[in-house]
Structure 1
Amino acid sequence: MKTRSKIEDEYWGALERLKIGKTKVVDTKSTRFRITKDAVGREAGRGKGYVRYERYPLLCEAIADAEVARKKNGPVTPSSNAKIEQQKALKQKAISDYNQLKQAYDMLMTEYLNVVRRNFELETGLAEVKNVKIIRMPSVR
């Protein structure tokens, strides 16, 4: 019985991390992600080309099996009509959010202008009183 080397154990560990999606180096969330010998090598901290069938035949077979399983269990890509419908729904949601924000902005501007008008009325009322001196603070920006 042949025992595995430390490096081969690192490759097997990298393969397991790729399978479960908890990687340290390789981005498994990318749309271009595939479980390959190079991906296993990079995840194990080595460069491309270190994992070869001549060196690690069992590992290479396990990598191929893992890629087949990933393709079977992977997310189903939606059809073009489903993508269009999804984009339409996103657009409608964005329009709705925009309209809500616009209404809230309009309400705030109305309140702000009322405060400015009230402030002006109070200042002019104070200016008409003889004993009050209005001191304006310079606006610092």
Structure 2
Amino acid sequence: MATSRRIQAERNRSHNSSDGKPRFPRAYSFGLVTAGLFVFSWVGQFVTQLVVERNDAAEHGQEFSMSEFWPQFFASTFENWQSEFLQLLWQAAGLSLLLFWGSSQSREQEERIEAKLDRLLEEQGIESKDISKAVNESL
């Protein structure tokens, strides 16, 4: 028993700081991984676009200029972000609204859950009408 408490205490110490909160990497691991992937992809976009623009300038016999590259790079970055955020916004907000308004999928899910609960209550010998009445009175 003492050994399991000691092991648990060691786990807590390794995962939590002195004030009981999780350490920064553990608490924000999803955000850190997402930020890492973002930086990796943005650097990849930068390098590939830089190579393409340099090759394009060389093909046309022009000198490559970083001052002309930056506006193009940021324009393509913001175009990507705009399309991705618009898609994400629709998926998150649009689906939430459809669920709130009671789309057929949300009603189907509620009916299925209610049927399961009724079945469980029936197996336990509890009358679902009594439960519904008690719940409605408490609201």
TM-score (norm 2): 0.29
More helix by share: 2
| Rg comparison, structure with higher value | 1
Which gives a bigger RCO, structure 1 or 2 (Cα 8 Å, sep 6+)? 1
TM-score (norm 1): 0.29
